[in-house]
Amino acid sequence: MTVVHRNTRMPLWSRMVAWVIALSGLVLALGGGYLLTLGGSGFPATIGLLMLASGVLLLRGRRAGALAYLAVFVLSLIMTLIESGDRFWGWVPRMGYVTVLAFFVALMLPLLFGEAKRGLGWMLAAGCLLFAGGAFVGAFVPHDSELLADAPAAPLLAGGTAAGRAAQQDNEWKAYGRDHDATRYSPLRQITTRNVGQLEVAWTYRTGDLPPPGKPNKWAAETTPIMVGGGLYLCTATNNLIKLDPTTGRELWRFDAGTRYESIPYTAACRGVTHYVSTSSAPGDACHERIVEATLDMRIIAVDAGTGRLCQGFGNGGQVDLTQGMGDWVPGQIAVTSPPPIVNGTVVVNHQVLDNQRRWAPSGVIRGYDAETGAFKWAWDVNHPGGIWREIPGPGQQYSRGTPNSWGTMTGDDSLNMVYVPTGNSAADYYSKTRTAAENRVASSIVALDATTGEEQWVFQTVHLDAWDYDIGSQPTLFEYPGADGAAIPAMFIPTKRGQTFVVDRRTGKPLLPVEERPAPAGDVPENPRAPTQPWSTGMPRLGFPELKEASMWGMTPFDQLYCRIKFRQAHYVGEFTPPMAPPQPWIVYPGYNGGSDWGGVAYDPNRGILVANWNATPMYERLLTRAEADARKLYAIDNPKHQPGKGGAEGPGAMEDTPYAVDVAPFIVPGLDTLCNEPPYGMITAIDMHTRKPIWQRPLGTARANGPFGIPTYMPINVGTPNNGGAALTAGDLVFVAAATDNLIRALDIGTGQELWSDVLPAGGQASPMTYAVDGKQFVVQMAGGHHFMMTPPGDYVVAYSLP
């Protein structure tokens, strides 16, 4: 009998497909084999071998090649169902690429089996198109979006509305967080769920503060303006002060702060300014009303709210030098980026210390100054005997070096005469051996200080012996919580990068909702022990997703997903609080330091008892470096004469001088593609009913319209949920306004359902919190579009105001 081999010379297009299948299989087989040696899944290697066999057989025109590819498709489907279940984004890398190749294999059936199979081939190809088309449409649906409960209509506490503690007119936005409680809630209701879709740009103002040509982009203005009386006040990325007409956006005055580029630490940011009314002057006097800011180059500046001129009676001609007593430092090593609260006549100032430079970096001291004169009042320094300085350190003295710093926005409470300080780590985030007991007691905490004396009142710690950069970036939000007898308890929300939200009595720091100490893993870095337990807020919903596993590694294709699987298996990971490991072992931190709630904080509607928080779910990939490795990489602290600009900054590799190690910290991404290795969504927004302390709704925040692999925008509103920075603003019109995401949109959501009712494209990245106010009954919503270098959104200098027609 004669054996006939069909189509031993396949057409060029089919041979190209066969080559792609064979080479794809080879890559997956080799990579999957290595994954097996790391203890990983056998699916990639098995699928790779089948693909390799299919490609080789198809190149030879063998029918078995099509059957082998059918096995690839079926096994991929089984793998997807086992590892991803109904998680939509988990299907993309496992079935997307396989389905595209299956389409072409289906078209090859007549070449392999004869014309009788042409109809079957077309039918299977059509099935592949339908499968892929359904997946494409599904990408535009917000997955992980849930409406879980009805929204409450009544206050959490009988009679507990916003008006009681607002200390401002309903039409104003008087402080960074709208009120001194930092609720970010406005009682305005001209713009509602019914008419918000009609919002249009009312005016746009440009500050002119942009990255200078030829310099690295460090810009991220993060500014939220305030509106008091007849003025809209803001600071630019480098601390220039501006007053605008709130109706037209016309500039009324401008004060040039003179901040130099060299003074910018990690980020050129000025989150906001503080309004103050003098108690020692009369209305109409110069500087009776003041605008106060603290700067990147460590000054407090006070100007007249009406003219923008320096208040000559404040400090030295309107300015206070914050570098006094700081010892040795260099520009860019210390800076203030948050508005200082003024509590009963005391300006309280914190500052950031550039991360991971050296253990004995400048102090993280907190200081109080007289709001009238700028005179020094006190300094809280945890390692100083007694903890308090009553005078600025003199010659040969300095504030204790390397102590935990505070860079987030503080909250003041005039009624209790307290200021609440969100702290970070001691200097050198990832090595704790040389930290003192006093430092360990107050790091990654809220510390309550007496605003008049600076004396410590209480401490609530959110992380023990922090080695994960879980400093508290969020401003604490104050509210009234019902006690067992129904009486109001002065309370506080403490949002964290972990996605844990703690609720405490702000008089004492004692938890009002359950906090559980759970066992935490130990590390193996010599003489660098971790705490045996860590606190978990069990009384509030966690803003986060389940722990990572190999099956939750992601990619656009099976190849980048395989890369992420391998990197996951190469790293040490045992869940939250995975500890630093001795070199060269990398480890994964999830959520990372940009996870959970960051400097945008949370927003609270006291009239309905609804908490709204946008948050991130992004991991970090970290490794300690020996000092020899650090030297080879030329990693030196910013104050070391050997330091090279661009090496060893706050992000990425850090020198951590004065310790045995340097550190390499980076987002867990695919190099080149710049896509994260964990499954989407990466950014979410959640509303919580504080009556029941359960979520009302949550949804992904941000689309891929301005994002994509290789940094190329897709220009498609794929609801992937992007990383976000900046908070939300709430109104009595039942609306949530939020930008923050990397798609450069500002949105309005229904606070009751989470439904998106309106959006607009901003001229630059919207990594700042919006605000709202009204003039003559007309409500405006304002958003700073300044971009953010770390979030990779375009820089800008735009202040955009929206209103109804």
By annotation, the residues acting in catalysis are: 469
- Of 11, 249, 180, residue with least CA distance to 108: 11
Number of Cβ atoms within 10 Å of the Cβ of 368:
25
Interior/surface letters 688-722, b for 16+ CB within 10 angstroms, e for the rest: bbbeeeebbbbbbbbbbbbbbbeeeebeeebbbbb
In angstroms, the Cα distances linking 455 to 367, 382, 418, 459 are 11, 11, 10, 12
**Distance (Å, whole) CA 633 – CA 651:** 15
- Of 330, 419, 431, 426, residue with least CA distance to 378: 419
CA atoms within 13 A on the CB side of 8: 3
- Of 125, 129, 4, residue with least CA distance to 66: 125
**366 phi and psi angles, rounded to 5 deg:** -110, 135
Amino acid making up residue 786: G
**Distance (Å, whole) CA 713 – CA 707:** 4
Number of Cβ atoms within 10 Å of the Cβ of 256:
13
Q: Which helix (H) or strand (E) holds 630?
A: helix 627-632
Please name the residues in contact with 403: beta carbons below 8 A apart, sequence gap of 6 or more. Answer: 363, 364, 365, 381, 382, 383, 426, 427, 439
- Of 203, 200, 161, residue with least CA distance to 181: 161
**Distance (Å, whole) CA 373 – CA 179:** 24
Q: Which residue has the tokens 């400048």?
A: 362
**DSSP β-ladder status, 728-731 and 185-186:** parallel
CA atoms within 13 A on the CB side of 603: 31
How far the first Cα of the chain sits from its last, in Å, is 85
Number of Cβ atoms within 10 Å of the Cβ of 330:
16
- Of 490, 496, 486, 460, residue with least CA distance to 478: 490
- Of 43, 47, 74, residue with least CA distance to 55: 47
